[in-house]
Chain A
Amino acid sequence: MSMVKYILKRLLMLIPVMVGISLFIYLVLSLAPGDPARMILGMDALPEDIEALREELGLNKPLLIRYGLYMWDALHGDFGTSWYQRFDVASEFFHRLPNTFWLAFIANAFSIIIGIPVGIIAAVRHNKPADYVVTFFSLLLCSAPGFWLGMLAQLLFCIRLGWLPSSGVGSFAHFILPALTMGGGIIAINMRTTRTWLLDSIRSDYVRTARAKGAREGRVIVHHAMRNSMLPVITGLGMNFAACMAGTAVTETVFAIPGIGSFITTGVKTKDIPIVLCSVIIIALMVGLVNLIVDIIYAVVDPRVKLGS
């Protein structure tokens, strides 16, 4: 069917983008100063040992060949070994992935469950107190640094009130504050997008047509205005996921969650290049796949989108 064809086509289109991303990141990270072999073995290592390790890591080959070899291994699930702690990067990544996945999942769920209904209320009560309050708070949420909000929430709910665990993982309760921290920005984005586009819809000619038919205001909003105004919100979901992924680093640092964000942060801080390389490539792939899913949802909702063209 055309849907299957469309998905296959989009997956194929993802390949060159992934090649581009991995090549770019590989080249940028290869600029890192210093000799990895010397870094691993320490300052007083023997030159022979360093040379042997260079050979082992393939550091003596030309850059593009090294990239090719790296990608070949990566396709087989091998993203190399940490320079300093000698563990397998890919297995550590996938070991930590579930924590980050649930975090991002819950954050996105919050952004939909909270953001969209509140945005609808603001649009329906346009220019009334409820609208002003919602608009102001969404602006505030967009403007505050996530890690700061997280810290304050931690201080209030965990330390002062003792309602929720302050750090680590283990239960759903552990995820509530981190997910709200990570999702704060995207909750605000969903509120604003919903409000803006629903208002746009409510003022459109086709909603006037619906009113002229004698439909109830509730039906006009739900049946006519909302479906159209949800389209931009759906488009935004892919971007929201990417924003979540960017937010993992700070959120996981605040709440001491052993996920991908803290993994990358460690990698960047210690200049453990394989960690950074592996994480960025896989996250980019995940963002690409999420965008594909979002586009498929969009195509299902909007009849104007023709698959395959």
Chain B
Amino acid sequence: MGKFLEVKDLHVQYKTDESVVYALNGLTLDVEKGETVGLVGETGAGKTTLALSILKLLPEDVGKITKGSIYYNGTDVIAAGKNEMRRLRGEEISMIFQDPMTSLNPVLTVGEQIREVLVLHFPDMTKQEREKRVDEILTLVGIPPERKSQYPHQFSGGMKQRVVIAIALVAQPKLLLADEPTTALDVTIQAQILQLMKDLKQKLNTSMIFITHDLGVVMEFCDSVAVVYGGEVIERGTIEEIYVREKNHPYTEGLFNCIPDLGVDTHRLHPIEGEVLDPTLKPAGCKFADRCRYCRDNCKKSNPDMYHIGGTHFIKCYRYTDGEVQTNE
């Protein structure tokens, strides 16, 4: 178990009265110490599910890990008991939740909610030390420490997001799961928050899974990228390997084509044809086959493996196995 975080062949299902949703279908992902991985994909691809699985916080009675393994720093997370999980949560691994509006408890002050992490994990700390840490982290995320006695409803959306970040960071976790931390925010505040997280990452050498669908942010912020589609990682590599756009998964190609390029004089964008895969279906072949313009017979029959392209670059597509390999024209 050399890797810091190792997720292997993870399958997660959501069962409701009406149907079964296959959220993750054999997702595999490694994260090194200090590495920031950008997790990119459409809504419903399974990004948030992955983060919740690592913390074992899938909605009770509904979400279930059916297969696969998660190892964090040598610890088998799936087999870990309640006490072990409680120690990991908050202290070792923490999560920045997507929606700052609902992620804070409306009846507790912001200070209480940040302090709670310290109370839970550092019972030996004195009251003064705790207060000092809360003040420090608030200053760090750009909130005047005097505001810690206020309630969440007295904060704006961007400020709430900072509070959520402060809660996630106050115990200086070793692994941070950031679930679209900036999607709900204005562009200017987005930039501030990103800068803030960048600084923290450097200071604390935190590993991070950064969930987003913004390829621009990934390029600026992450060391490597994992593209997720239909509950699987379909392309994995460093920023350079993927952004050079020589060899890409057809879906990644499609994602890049959706970004307007000011340098090139194009008249229109090229959206990916077709619709996102219905997650209640479980096709035998490649999940992207229906929308893929390179689709061939065997794509619909069996699911391709991850093929090594070079360096740390892997692509899950038949185009890169049987000699057809070609650069983008």
- B partners with A: yes
List chain A positions with a Cβ less than 8 A from chain B.
126-127, 203-217, 224, 227-228, 301-304
Residues of chain B in range 85-106 having any CB-CB distance to chain A below 8 Å: 85-91, 94-95, 97, 99, 102-106
Complex interface: chain A residues within 8 A of B87 (CB): 214
How far does the alpha carbon of A212 sit from the alpha carbon of B117 in the complex, in Å? Answer: 9
- B121: Cβ under 8 A from any A Cβ: yes
Q: Is B57's beta carbon under 8 Å from chain A? A: yes
Our pick among B82, B103, B116 for the contact of A208 (Cβ within 8 Å) is B103
Distance in angstroms from B25 CB to nearest chain A CB is: 24
Q: A206 to B91, Cβ gap below 8 A? A: no
Q: Complex: how many Å from CA A281 to CA B108?
A: 41
For the complex, give the distance between the alpha carbons of A203 and B102 in Å.
Answer: 11
CA A70 – CA B153 in complex, angstroms? 49
A217: chain B residues at CB < 8 Å are: 82
**B116, closest chain A residue (CB):** A213
Q: How far is the CA of A215 from the CA of B120 in the complex (A)?
A: 7
For B82, the closest partner residue in chain A by CB is A217
Query: B residues within 8 A CB of A205?
Result: 97, 99, 102-103
Q: What does DSSP make chain A's interface, helix, strand, loop or mixed?
A: helix
Please name all residues of chain A whose beta carbon is closer than 8 Å to the beta carbon of B151 when the two chains form the complex: 303-304
Residues of A within 8 A of B95 (CB): 212
Q: A205-B97, A212-B55, A212-B94 are in contact. Are A304 and B106 (CB under 8 A)?
A: yes
A227, B88: Cβ atoms under 8 Å? no
Residues of B within 8 A of A203 (CB): 59
Shortest Cβ distance from A217 into B: residue: B82
Residues of A within 8 A of B59 (CB): 203
Contact partners of B153 in chain A: CB under 8 A: 303-304
Residue in contact with B103 in the complex, picked from A126, A206, A302, CB distance below 8 Å: A206
Q: Are A215 and B116 in contact (CB under 8 A)?
A: yes
Give chain B nearest CB distance to A208 CB in angstroms: 6
Check if B97 sits within 8 Å of A213, measured CB to CB: no
Complexed CA–CA distance, A138 and B61 (Å): 24
A303 close to B120 (CB less than 8 A): no
Contact in complex: B61, A127 (CB < 8 Å)? yes
Bound-state Cα–Cα, A228 to B153, Å: 14
Docked pose: A209 CA to B87 CA in angstroms:
15
B85 CB to nearest A CB, Å: 8
Q: List 28 A-B contacts (CB under 8 A).
A: A203-B59, A206-B103, A208-B103, A209-B97, A209-B103, A209-B164, A211-B89, A212-B90, A212-B95, A213-B90, A213-B116, A213-B117, A213-B120, A214-B86, A214-B88, A214-B89, A214-B90, A214-B120, A216-B86, A228-B105, A228-B106, A301-B107, A302-B106, A302-B107, A303-B107, A303-B109, A304-B151, A304-B153
Whole-angstrom distance between the Cβ of B182 and the nearest chain A Cβ: 17
For A302, what are the chain B residues with a Cβ–Cβ distance below 8 Å?
A: 106-107
Contact indicator B97/A208 (Cβ below 8 Å): yes
A22 to chain B, nearest CB (A): 39
A218 CA / B95 CA spacing, docked (Å): 21
Q: How many residues of B contact A (CB 8 A)?
A: 33
**Among the listed A214, A216, A228, A301, which residue makes an inter-chain contact with B121, where contact means beta carbons less than 8 Å apart?**
A214
Bound Cα distance A215, B113 (Å): 12
> How far, in whole Å, are A228 and B106 apart by their CA atoms in the complex?
8
* Most central of B61, B99, B102, B107 by chain A CB within 10 Å: B107
Partner of B105, one of A126, A214, A224: A224
Residues of A within 8 Å of B109, CB to CB, are: 303
A209 lies within 8 A of B104 (CB): yes
* Residue B242, interface by CB 8 Å: no
Whether the pair B107, A213 counts as a contact (CB closer than 8 A) is no
Known: A212-B89, A214-B88, A303-B153. A206 touches B106 (CB 8 A): yes
Is residue B167 contacting chain A, with contact meaning CB distance below 8 A?
A: yes
Residue ID in chain B nearest A209 by CB atoms = B103
Given contacts A213-B167, A304-B153, contact A206 B86 (CB under 8 A): no
Q: Give every chain A residue within 8 A of B117 (Cβ-Cβ).
A: 213-214
Closest residue to B89 on the A side, CB-wise? A214
Q: Mark B110-150, 1 if CB is under 8 A from A, else 0.
A: 00010011001100000000000000000000000000000
Residues of B within 8 A of A127 (CB): 61
Bound CA span A216–B121, Å? 11
Q: Closest B residue to A213 by CB, please name it.
A: B90
State whether A209 and B91 are in contact (beta carbons under 8 Å apart), knowing that A215-B120, A216-B86 are contacts in the complex.
no
Quick one: which of B46-101 are within 8 Å of A by CB? 55, 57, 59, 61, 82, 85-91, 94-95, 97, 99
Query: Beta-carbon contacts of B208-235 to A below 8 Å, as 1s and 0s?
Result: 0000000000000000000000000000
A147 to B86 alpha-carbon distance, docked (Å): 51
B164 — nearest CB in chain A belongs to which residue? A209
- C-alpha spacing A302/B95, complex, angstroms: 27
8 Å CB interface, B158-191 against A: 164, 167
Q: A227-B108, A303-B109 are in contact. List 15 more A-B contacts (CB 8 A).
A: A204-B102, A206-B106, A209-B164, A212-B55, A212-B90, A212-B95, A213-B89, A214-B87, A214-B88, A214-B117, A215-B90, A215-B116, A227-B107, A302-B106, A304-B106
A206 touches B89 (CB 8 A): no
In the complex, what residues of A have CB within 8 A of residue B116's CB?
Answer: 210, 213, 215
Shortest beta-carbon distance, A199 to chain B, in Å? 11
Once bound together, how far apart are the Cα atoms of A274 and B94, in whole Å?
Answer: 68
The residues in B between 16 and 65 inclusive whose CB is less than 8 angstroms from any CB of A are: 55, 57, 59, 61
Across the interface, name the chain B residue whose C-beta is closest to A230.
B107
B99 — nearest CB in chain A belongs to which residue?
A205
User: Contacts A213-B89, A213-B116 hold; do A206 and B121 have CB atoms under 8 A apart?
Assistant: no
